[in-house]
Amino acid sequence: MALAQRADQAQAQLWNGASGRAWVDAQAVLDAMFQPFEDLLVDTVRESSAREVLDFGCGTGGTTLAIAHAVGDGGRCVGIDVSAPMIARAEQRAKDVAARAHFVCADAERFPFAPARFDLLVSRFGVMFFADPVRAFANLRHATRAGGALHAFAWRSASENPFMTTAERAAAPLLPALPARITGAPGQFAFAEEAHVRRILADSGWTDVAIAPLDVACTLPESALLSYIGRMGPVGVLLQEADAATRADVLATVLQAFAPYVDGTHVHFSAACWRVTARA
């Protein structure tokens, strides 16, 4: 229990601090980069009869707003995230377009959802950060109507996603304080093992679990790469506290390491993920 509490605190601190602010600042670039996943989730909503949808780990709300538009006046999409800066941005975006979307700043693992509220739960890479994932998915199931569905995306392993670990591998000799990835700990690759994900969903009461590999081509502008390196991920977090000389050395080294992904004005990579579905 103490380990789970510390993990909870660490995630809340991370997403309410430098990482949360970085995601807000890079919102347009990140939304464009992950647009294929948003499109897949919106298609899922349109193909279903869902009217009440929960987007957990919603971040700055791009997918929530797209789903709110898809369900129209007869439905609603609620986004929940632990990050206050990202929820504030999501709420402003909803206000700007008068969207039928509602946002909650809270941890979905512990939030007191009304029982059997939602027809469909979705998540675009928001499933991997719970301190106690079994408790989290049991709570999410509690919020889902009988027969309701879960559709989520999670990263496969770090080895299958070399783009996502390029900065860490290149910067490690220059940043001794760079934290090592801990297998199974809350974080980007916490759901890398299919069997682990199946156990979590089974132990939390979900049925009809299906987990399929999905590889998706993603892009971002080459002009955004320097900012992406300097703000995002473990390297970006450390660089925000680094002295100017260290920052310059790391950025130059890491930029060179990303060269194989750059083609003209764009950066291209393949996102190796799991598409996870289940039934309440």
Question: Looking at the domain assignment, is residue 83 inside a domain?
Answer: yes
Question: Looking at the domain assignment, is residue 241 inside a domain?
Answer: no
Question: Looking at the domain assignment, is residue 262 inside a domain?
Answer: no
Asked whether the CA dihedral 175, 177, 178, 182 is positive or negative, the reply is: positive
Question: Looking at the domain assignment, is residue 61 inside a domain?
Answer: yes
Question: Looking at the domain assignment, is residue 253 inside a domain?
Answer: no
DSSP 111-177: --PPTT-EEEEEEES-SS--SSHHHHHHHHHHTEEEEEEEEEEEE--STT-HHHHHHHHHHTTT-TT
pTM, entire model: 0.93
CA torsion angle 32 69 124 205 (round to 10): -170
Note the pLDDT of residue 183.
78
> Do the bridges between strand 118-124 and strand 207-221 make them parallel or antiparallel, or are there none, so unpaired?
unpaired
Give the total number of structural domains in the chain: 1
Question: Looking at the domain assignment, is residue 263 inside a domain?
Answer: no
- The C-alpha angle with vertex 5 and arms to 182 and 128, in degrees rounded to 5, equals 45
User: H or E segment at 217?
Assistant: strand 207-221
Question: Looking at the domain assignment, is residue 81 inside a domain?
Answer: yes
State the Cα–Cα distance between residues 159 and 176, nearest whole angstrom. Answer: 22
Question: Looking at the domain assignment, is residue 166 inside a domain?
Answer: no
Query: For residue 274, what are its two tokens?
Result: 């799991």
Note the pLDDT of residue 3.
46
CATH number of the domain enclosing 36: 3.40.50.150
User: Domain containing 26: what range?
Assistant: 2-158+180-218+271-279
In 3D space, the residue among 218, 200, 225, 207 whose CA is nearest the CA of residue 273 turns out to be 218
Note the pLDDT of residue 5.
52
**Local confidence pLDDT in tens for the 280 residues of the chain:** 444 555 567 777 888 988 889 999 999 999 999 999 999 999 999 999 899 999 999 999 999 999 999 999 889 999 999 999 999 999 999 999 999 899 999 999 999 999 999 999 999 999 999 999 999 999 999 999 999 999 999 999 999 999 999 999 999 999 999 988 887 789 999 999 999 999 999 999 999 999 999 999 999 999 999 999 999 999 999 998 899 999 999 999 999 999 999 999 999 999 999 999 999 9
